[in-house]
Amino acid sequence: MQQVGETDPDTCAYNDLALVKIDPADVASVNPSIPNFGGPVGLNTSGTAAGDKVYSYGNSSLRQGITLLSPKQGFSLGDDANGWTHTVYTLTPGIPGDSGSAFLDANGNALGVLSTVAIAPLPASNGVGDVAKEIAWANSKGGQSISLVKGTEPFKGGLLPI
């Protein structure tokens, strides 16, 4: 972003997208589905409202290998920073090591990428960078076009293991 001269503070502060290029020979070995929930089935381009359900899966080593703590289900507090971020609460919150985890909306659409955990003003909330805005920004800068790769497994939101 610095190389192309981006100066918008919301874009710079909340854009935390990392890209992974898969060698064509390895595509059959990669599954883009979100563990436990499936999807994504598409791209959320409308953001979230307070109370909207969200889903994620994080596998931080700080959870000591307890996989029952990896699936996360929660709700959004809405959009912020002109739609560049969504503040969310999940059980359990995203913690260091979960950064970069995908977030899905209630319909299984890709919402964003976990980028922050807050201490204040909303303790244990997470900031989720808006993936639709991030992809659109990257595509507006030229070069290779990027897009969301849909999951190969159907979305099964709301099915946390017990």
Dump pLDDT digits (tens) for 30-86. Answer: 999 999 999 999 999 999 999 999 999 998 989 888 888 899 999 999 999 999 999
Higher pLDDT, residue 140 or 158: 140
Dump pLDDT digits (tens) for 93-123. Answer: 888 888 889 999 999 999 999 988 888 788 8
SS3 130: strand
List, in order of start, the domains of the chain with CATH numbers. Answer: 9-140 (2.40.10.10)
Beta strands in 92-142 (DSSP E): 102-105, 109-117, 126-130
SS3 76: strand
* Residue 112 neighbours by CB under 8 Å, 6+ apart: 44, 85, 86, 102, 103, 128, 129, 130, 131
pTM assigned to the model: 0.90
Which pLDDT band holds residue 162 (cuts at 50, 70, 90)?
very low
